[in-house]
A and B are shown apart, each in its own frame.
Chain A
Amino acid sequence: MNNIVKLAFRNLKRYMRRTLLTSMLITLGVVAVLLFISVSGSFKGMMIGQITDSMLGHMQIHAKGYLSSIENLPLNRNLTAKQVDKARQLLDENKSVEAYSMRIKLGAMFSNFSETTNVRLNAVDPQQEMATVPGLVSRIIKGEKEGLLARGEILIPELIAKGMNVNVGDTIVLVATNREGSVNGQPFVVRGLLEGITGPGGRDGVIHLDDARSLLRIEETEISEIAVRLKDMGRLDAVYEAVNGQLSAMKNKMDKPVFEVHTWRELTPFFNIARMIDVMTFFIKIMLVSIVLISIMNVMIMAVYERINEIGTIAAIGTTPGKILALFITEGFLLGLFGALIGVIVSLAGIAGMNAAHISFNFGRQEDLLLAPTIAAGDVVMVSVIVIVIAILGSLQPAFKASRMDPIAALRHV
C-alpha cells in the first residue's frame, strides 16, 4: 500500500500546477464551508442564547392548552398549587436543571394618570428569574439593575415608556381583571426601562410575583408558566424527554394530561431562522461536494487520459487491475486529503484571526455584539471526511476506466 501511495504522490507531483490548482479549489470550498459554519454558528448561538437567557429559558412548563391561547394570557389556565408542587419536585430532583422561575403572565391597563394603554406583564420572583434568565438584567437600559426589582416596582418596556412619557422613578397604576372578572388597581414605581427584543415576551413588562397576586387577588399558589434553565443546553433533548415523560403521565380526573412541556424551539419563531441557517449550511455543503466532485473527476479523467500509455505499460508488466484501480483512487484520495488539510488549517487560522480582530455587529436594536466564531471538532472532522469521501468517489469512475483498460489498446495510444 505504501508503494501505491508513494507512486500516487509522485504522479500528483508530476502535474504540480494542476495538483495545486485542484487542491486550492478544494481548499477554497473547505474554507468557505468551515468559516460559514463558524460564523453562522456564532450568530445562531448568540441569537438563541439571547432569546433563552433573557426571556424564554431553555424549557417551559404550562398547564395543558395554555400555549395555544397564550396570546390571551388566560388566567383560567394557570397551574394550581398541587400541580406547581409536583412540577417543582420533579425539577428539584433533576440534576440537569440549573434553575427555574415561576411566572404569572397577565394583561393589564397601564395608566400614567393622564393616559392609559395595554401592557403585558410577567410577574416573577426576582431571584428565581435572574437565575433562570440571567440576560434579563442586561436588557434594563435605564434604572437600577441590582436585584432586578422589589415589591411595588415595575420594569416597563421602553416603547411604552416613550409612548406614555414615563420615566424611571415615576409612579404608574396597573389595573387588571382577575379570573372571576373582578377589577383591581395598584400603583407601581417605575424601577427601570426594558429593552424590547423580537419574539414572544420581548415587549412584556415585569412586576413582582407577590404584586401580581395582590393585583389579581390570588390567594393560593397559582402559576402561568415555569421557565427552566439547564446546566448544559446540549442536554436539552434528554432533559425534555425526561421531564415531559414524567409530567405528561400525570392526568386529571377526566384522564386528560395536566401539563404541557415545550423547549425554546417551540416557543419562538427564531427557531425557524436557526433552522434556515442549518439549511443554508447544508446547501453550502452540497456546493462543497459539487466543487470537490467536479474538480477531482476532471483532474482524474485528465490523469487517466494523459497516462493511457503508461497504464498499458504497467498492466503489461503484470500490475493487476486492482492495483491500477487503487493507484488512481489513491491519487484522488491524496488530492482530497491535501485540500481538506490545507482548508482546515486556513479555516482555523481565519477563525482565530476573526476572534483576535474582535469584530462586532448589530442585531436588531442591539449594537456592538461581538462576533465570536467557533468551530466544533465534529464539524471539522465531518467536512474533512465529506471532502475525502467525495474525492474518492470522484476518482472511482476514472480509476475503473484505467483498471479495465485493454493493455494492447493502451500501449498503442499516442
Chain B
Amino acid sequence: MAIVEAKALIKNYVAGDITVQAIRGVDFVIEPGSFVSFVGPSGSGKSTLLNMIGCLDPPSSGFLAVAGQDVATLHGKEAAHFRGEHIGFIFQDFNLIPVLTVFENIEYPLLMVQNWPAGKRKARVLEMLAAVGMQDQGDKYPGQISGGQKQRVAVARALVANPKLVLADEPTANLDRETAMRIIALMKQMRDEFGTTFVFSTHDPKVVKNAETVFFLEDGMLQKEGNRKGESHE
C-alpha cells in the first residue's frame, strides 16, 4: 500500500474575489520507505503540497490518503493527533524549542504528543541521540549547538515517534554544503535503518541528486516524475 496517494488533488486559495490555484489537479503515489523530493521554482506549489500531505492544510478537492487515511477530512484536533501519530517534520529553520535541551526537544513528541512512559521514552531518546551522533550533546540547549547539529536534532525529533512519513521543507537551505551533505546522508541512513519514508521540498541540487524519486512541479502542476535510474515520466 502506498504511503501517500493523491488523485486529482487541487488546492485553491481565495483572497477576496481572487482565487489562486496553488495545486491544479495532481496525481502521484509515494511508496513506503522511499526518498522523495518535490522540486520546482518558488511558487510552484511544493510547500503547499507538503502542507497538504502533512495535514496542515486541507485540499480544496481531490483525494489524498496518507498512511491509508483519507486526510482531506481531518481538521484541528484529529489532524494534530494524526500528525503526531504518523508524520515527522523537519523544518528549514530547524525550529527547535529554545527552552528545552537537545534531549528534551527530541523527547517532546513522545512526552507532549504520544504520552510514552518515562523509561521507554528515555531509552528511545538516547537511541535517537546515538543514531544522529549527538549522544554527548543531550544536555545542551539549541542556542549552544551549531546549525548542522540543530538539524540533526530536528531529524531525531522527527523520527523519535517512529512515524511512517517524514516531511522536510527545504531541510538543507540554511546549512553549508558539507553539513548539508552530512544531513542528507544522515536522513538516508535513518531511512535505511528505520524504513521511514522521507519526502522533501527543495531547491537544493544536492538533495535532488540524492532523491530516489523526484517530482517536478511548475505552476501547481506535476510536470514529470524521475527516479534514481534516470528514468522520467511526463
Tell me, yes or no, whether A13 is within 8 Å of chain B by CB: yes
Report if A3 contacts B (CB, 8 A): yes
How far is the CB of B98 from the nearest CB of chain A, in Å? 7
Instruction: Identify 17 residue pairs between A and B in the complex whose beta-carbon atoms are under 8 Å apart, listed by A's number.
Output: A7-B112, A13-B99, A14-B98, A309-B95, A310-B98, A312-B95, A313-B97, A314-B97, A316-B54, A316-B83, A317-B89, A318-B82, A318-B114, A319-B84, A321-B76, A323-B112, A407-B56
Give the docked Cα–Cα distance between A316 and B112 (Å).
13
Query: CB-defined interface of A398-410 with B at 8 Å, one 1/0 digit per residue?
Result: 0000000001100
Nearest CB in chain A: distance from B153 CB, A: 13
Measured in the bound complex, the distance between the Cα atoms of B56 and A237 in whole Å is 63
The interface residues of chain B lying within 8 Å CB-to-CB of A310 are 95, 97-98
Measured as residues with beta carbon below 8 angstroms from the partner, the interface class of chain A is 20 to 34
In the complex, which residues 82-97 of chain B have their Cβ closer than 8 Å to any Cβ of chain A? 82-85, 87-89, 91, 93, 95, 97
Interface string of A33-45 (1 = CB under 8 A from B): 0000000000000
Give, as a whole number of angstroms, the nearest-CB distance from A313 to chain B. 4
Closest B residue to A13 by CB, please name it. Answer: B99
Q: With an 8 A cutoff between CB atoms, is A11 at the interface?
A: yes
Q: Which residues of A contact B51 (CB under 8 A)?
A: 408
Task: Report A-chain residues with C-beta under 8 Å of the C-beta of B109.
Answer: 317-318
Q: Let me know if B229 is at the binding interface, CB within 8 A.
A: no
Does A411 interact with chain B (Cβ within 8 Å)?
yes
User: Is chain A's binding surface mostly helix, strand, loop or mixed?
Assistant: helix
- B215 contacts chain A at the CB level, 8 A cutoff: no
List chain B positions with a Cβ less than 8 A from chain A: 51, 54, 56-57, 76-77, 80-85, 87-89, 91, 93, 95, 97-100, 108-109, 111-114, 157-158
Q: Is the CB of B97 within 8 A of A320?
A: no
A residues less than 8 Å from B112 (CB atoms): 3-4, 7, 314, 319, 323
Given A316-B56, A318-B85, A323-B112, the answer on whether A10 and B99 have CB atoms closer than 8 Å is yes
A387 on the interface (CB 8 Å rule)? no
CB-CB under 8 A for A317 and B56, given A7-B100, A11-B99, A310-B97 = no
State whether B99 touches A14 (Cβ < 8 A): yes
Q: Are A318 and B99 in contact (CB under 8 A)?
A: no
Most buried by B among A316, A317, A319: A317
Asked, given contacts A314-B97, A316-B83, A317-B108, whether A322 binds B56 with beta carbons under 8 Å apart, the answer is: no
A315 interfacial contact with B, CB 8 Å: yes
Interface residues of A (CB under 8 A from B): 3-4, 7, 10-11, 13-14, 309-310, 312-323, 407-408, 411
A320→B112 CA distance, assembly (Å): 9
The residue of chain B having its C-beta at the shortest distance from the C-beta of A313 within the complex is: B95
Cα separation A316 to B81 with both chains bound (whole Å)? 10
- A residues near B77, Cβ cutoff 8 Å: 320-322
A411 touches B80 (CB 8 A): no
Q: Which residue among A13, A316, A322, A411 has the maximum number of chain B CB atoms within 10 Å of its CB?
A: A316
Verify A408–B56 contact, CB threshold 8 A.
Answer: yes
Tell me how far the C-beta of B87 lies from the nearest C-beta in chain A, rounded to whole angstroms: 8
Indicate if the CB atoms of A318 and B95 lie closer than 8 Å.
no
Known: A7-B100, A313-B97, A320-B77. A411 touches B91 (CB 8 A): yes
Check A3/B111 contact, CB under 8 A, given A317-B84, A318-B85.
Answer: yes
In the complex, given contacts A312-B95, A313-B91, A408-B51, what are 17 additional A-B residue pairs having Cβ atoms less than 8 angstroms apart? A3-B111, A3-B112, A4-B112, A13-B99, A314-B97, A314-B108, A315-B80, A316-B54, A317-B84, A317-B89, A318-B80, A318-B81, A318-B87, A319-B113, A407-B56, A408-B56, A408-B57
Complex Cα–Cα for A317 and B165 (A): 12
With A and B bound together, what is the CA distance between A14 and B88 in angstroms?
27
User: Which residue of A has the minimal Cβ distance to B167?
Assistant: A316
Q: What's the least CB distance linking A141 to chain B, in Å?
A: 69
Docked Cα-Cα span, A295 to B233, in Å, equals: 61
B100 to A, closest residue via Cβ: A10
Contacts of B83 in A (CB 8 A): 316-318
Given known A-B contacts A3-B111, A408-B51, A320 and B80 have beta carbons under 8 A apart: yes
Bound form: Cα–Cα A318–B80 in Å: 4
The residue from B81, B98, B100, B111 contacting A320, defined by CB atoms under 8 A apart: B81
Most buried by A among B77, B82, B87, B95: B95
CA distance A312 to B97 in the complex (A): 11
Question: Given A10-B100, A317-B89, A323-B112, does the pair A411, B76 have CB atoms closer than 8 Å?
Answer: no
List of B residues within 8 angstroms of A318 by Cβ: 80-85, 87, 109, 113-114
Contacts of A411 in B (CB 8 A): 91, 95
